[in-house]
Structures are given as C-alpha cells and as structure tokens.
A and B are shown apart, each in its own frame.
Chain A
Amino acid sequence: MQFDWPAIVRSLFSREAVTAVAISILVLGVLLAYLAWRYMHYFLSDAGIDEAVEGTAFERTAQRFGTSTVGLIATLVGISIYIGAMMLAGAVSQRFQDVSLWSPFVAYLPNLFVALFALMIGLIAGDKAKLSVSEKFRSIKLPEAELLPELVKYSIIFLAGLVALGQLGVATEALLIVLAAYAFGLVFLGGLAFKQLLSAGAAGVYLVLSQPYSIGDEVRIQGQRGIVQEVDIFVTHIESEGEEYVVPNDQVFAGGIVRIRD
C-alpha cells in the first residue's frame, strides 16, 4: 500500500505551514546533497577509485575541466539528491500547478543519471582495458597487435553506450543486432581460431592437476619417445638425444601416453 505523502502533509498542516515544510525539505535536500557529495568524495577516494582511473582519457578530460572522475560521480549523486528534494518540495507545496507539464521530464531524470553513469563507467573501463591489453602486448611490436587494445576499448564503450541509450529509451534494436552479430562473430570465429588451443588447454588442465607423468619420466607420446622436460597448460616438452618434441596436450590425450618403466 502506498501513501500519498504530499497529500497527508497537506491535510495535516495549514497552508503556511505547508510552505514552511516545503522550504525545510528544500534546505534539508541541499544539506543532504552536500553531505552525499562529501561522503561520495571520501568513499570513492578511499576505495582507490581515483588511483584506478588515473591516466585514462576520461580522467584527463575531467581534469582539463578542473574536476576529476571522483568529483564528477560525487556531483552527479549530489545533484540527483537535490533534484529529488526539489521535486518533493514542489509536490508538497503544490506550487507548480501544472505538474503534468513537468512530470515526464522529472520521471526521465533517474534514467538520465543512470545513462550518464553507465557511459562514464564504460569510458573508464574501456580505457583501462585498453591499457592492460596493450601492456600485455608491449613486447610484440606488430601493427596488428596494436589493433587489439583499440578493439577491446571500443567494444566496451559500445556496450556502455548501448546500456545508456537503452536507459534513455532510444530505439536500440539496430545497435542490438550489430552487437549480436559482433558477439556471434567473436564466439564463432574465436572458437574456430582457438579450437586447437582450447582443447590443448583443457587437456593441459587435467595433465597439470593429476600429473600422470612428471618431469624426468620417460614416456612415449605419438611415437615420440623421450624424457619429459616440461609440462605446461598447452604443451609438453619431450626430449631425447638432442631432439626436443613440443607436443600439444590435446594430442597427448588423443594418442594416449606410454610411460616407460624399466
């Protein structure tokens, strides 16, 4: 059951008192918004957000405008609380007679904030992902390898943009189809390309965990006989008389292992 709080307040107090209540709600809202802003600042900095976003393009842009990511989020939260208080005060005092003119926009506000927030997180996460991916590929000086971090970044931003547009109620069907095609391509082609690696990795997990053979054992795998030198997730190194076979782990499974004990 839902109470119509503004109506209750109006029935309880006289007209002047209602105005006073509305004003006090407004003042309380300002105070609350300020406190929320302060607390958000403190909380986000404490959680290490400002360090996490350091160096991303979004943070740099924010800094150019004399603020920071943490500041922006805190301001967003503060503003949303303040607007909430304003709406409540307006409803209580019934100052704005023609509420119907306002309400669509007001109802829209939370979505707008969520959309902004999603976009912000998307931009930062995209930048972060790009940084960490390019860090991984730092030793590979190939133009193709530089494409991958960008791809990761824009994929994340695209997703965030989709979420934001969805919040705003913009028709995103076409974009969703693009996303579906993209995801399908990623899964299908990725699966196709990584098939060998994936099956070798899956076999490798078993080999590493249960160790049917370990370093120093003499084994025969796929007709190659030798001493095991190294077992990792994807391959097994077998050496015999100066020749080292690097056998993918899925072949170890496919062909079985012969351990030679004598």
Chain B
Amino acid sequence: MSALREFLDDIVADTDAVFLFSPSASLYQSFEDDDTEVVVIAPENTVDAETFVELPLEFSDMADRIRFGVEGALEQEYVEEDADVVCIGDVFDDTPDSIVRVQVADFSPSGVYGLFVNSRAEPSVINDVLDVAVELGKKGQKGKPVGALFVVGDAGKVMNKSRPLSYNPFEKSHVHVGDPIVNVMLKEFSRLDGAFVISDGGKIVSAYRYLEPSAEGVDIPKGLGARHMAAGAVTRDTNAIAIVLSESDGLVRAFKSGELILEVDPEEY
C-alpha cells in the first residue's frame, strides 16, 4: 500500500488550488479551513462558496467538466495561469471518486466558459436553448432525426442579416425559451426550414429565417453541412452564438465568432 500512498502524495504535492466538483457540504467544510485555495464548480452554489464557478450544464464527461472549471476559474482569476490544480470529482456516481491533477498552463482555452458567460445572451438563455437542442436530438421529431439551428443573442443584427423564408410564426408573440410549452412549440416548428432567432433575453424573435452572412473565412471542420456553415458564418458576422443540431450525426454543436466551441452528444445526457 505504501507505493500507492506515495503515488497519491505525489499527485497532490505542491498544488496551488483544489477544485471541488459538486461537493457535499461536509466535504467543502473540511477543505474550507485548509490554507490552499478552494474553488467549487457545480451547477448551483449549494455550499455558499466564495470562489464558485457555475456549471451551465451537466457535462457527463469529467474532462469536459474540468476544462470548463479551469477556464472559468482562470477567467474569474481564482487561479494563476501557471497553477497546478487538483480536481476532486465524480466519474461514475454522485460521490467524489477521483482525483485529477492538471496544470492550468497545459490547457489551450477552448472557449467553453466564454461561450456561456461572455456571450451577449444571458447564460441561462444559452443553457435553455442547449437543453432544447439536446432534447430534440434525443427524441427527434416524431421519431425521425431532425436538424435545427438556433441563433442566440444580438437578435437585431441577426435579423438584419437574414430574411424571412415565409411568415414568421412567432410574430407578435411573446414566448421565451425555457417555458415548458415553448420547448414543445420549438420542437413542432423544428420541421420548418431556416433558423430560429432568439434575443439576448431569451425571447424567440423569429423562426423560418434564412441567414445571409458572408461565409468568407469561416473555418469549420470539413464534412459539416450547410446548416453548420451558416451557423459559423452568422456568428462571425455578428455577436450572436449559434447552436446547431445536426440532422446527419445527431450531435449538438455550438459556434461563437465563427469557430466551433462545443460539441455534445445528446445521447450521453
């Protein structure tokens, strides 16, 4: 056992900060009195931690969670760029079962944290749209896989860079993403062609929108279709972000500033 203990000691030696992922109150308490920096990363700040990074969605993959946590902690200046961090989280169950040591400097920022927090639209709105996309990807429209494109934020500019394909079903309506009934509506309307435009505050401005950004210099992975190209291009031209559900491979992808930021598989939720 001593070899194991030694190995464990090596892992946790000289750490600058401890990241606790969704800790229980007692676990947080035991770390709080320690002299190392403690950062709590969870969907909700249930332990009233001062240094807290909010997880906008339940990343099923521990690596994604750590990536988001590190970027968030960096952004909020809880840790330095050359810090060594020990993450305590759960891979299988809801009880902490794993210890991961990461060097912050090794992370090339993917912008996942910025996607949620530094976008024009409110994080909760982005979260809601992502939820709708994931749910749509899981169930499809009447069992068939569907594709969808949501452009979130900077709606005024997006509307000026697009044109209607047909009458806007959301004209003069006041629906916001996140209402349960709206999710059903969005699902029904997802069989329409074109994009959904959603404002910073979550109001669904329009459906049936044909996006007309210039696609010059948009660099998205090869093999993705016109929908993704349009998404990438519109986020480069405006300050919006785009969330795309692919019809062919069923993945949900998020674009910001013309770049692919996040890729999630709806089946994993």
Contacts and interface: CB of A to CB of B under 8 A. Distances in A.
A228 B174 contact: no
Contacts of B156: 215-217, 227-229, 239
A211 to B, nearest CB: 5
B108 interface: no
A228 B159 CA distance: 10
Interface in A201-227: 208, 211, 214-218, 227
9 contacts: A215-B156, A215-B205, A216-B156, A216-B158, A216-B205, A218-B160, A229-B200, A230-B155, A232-B201
B174 A216 contact: no
Interface in B147-180: 154-160, 172, 174
B201 A211 contact: no
B159 A208 contact: no
A227 B161 CA distance: 12
Contacts of B199: 215, 229-230
Interface string B50-70: 000000000000000000000
Contacts of A227: 156-157, 160
A230 B157 contact: no
Chain B: number of interface residues, binned into ranges: 10 to 19
B160 A216 contact: yes
Contacts of B172: 211, 214
A2 to B, nearest CB: 57
Contact of B159 (A211, A215, A232, A237): A215
B203 interface: yes
Contacts of B158: 216
Contacts of A216: 155-156, 158-160, 205
A217 B157 CA distance: 9
Contacts of B205: 214-216
A237 B157 CA distance: 13
Nearest to B202: A230
Interface string B198-240: 0111010100000000000000000000000000000000000
Contacts of A215: 155-156, 159, 199, 203, 205
Nearest to B174: A208
Contacts of A228: 156
Contacts of B160: 216, 218, 227
Nearest to A240: B156
B174 A229 contact: no
Interface in B4-38: none
A227 B157 CA distance: 7
Contacts of A214: 172, 205
Contacts of A208: 174
A229 B198 CA distance: 10
Nearest to A228: B156
B154 A229 contact: yes
A211 B170 CA distance: 13
A230 B203 contact: yes
Q: Which of B154, B155, B158: most chain A CB closer than 10 A?
A: B155
Nearest to B153: A229
Interface in A138-165: none
Contacts of A229: 154-157, 199-200
B159 A230 contact: no
B113 to A, nearest CB: 21
B174 A230 contact: no
Given A229-B154, A229-B156, A230-B155, 5 more contacts: A215-B159, A216-B205, A217-B156, A227-B160, A228-B156
A215 B200 CA distance: 11
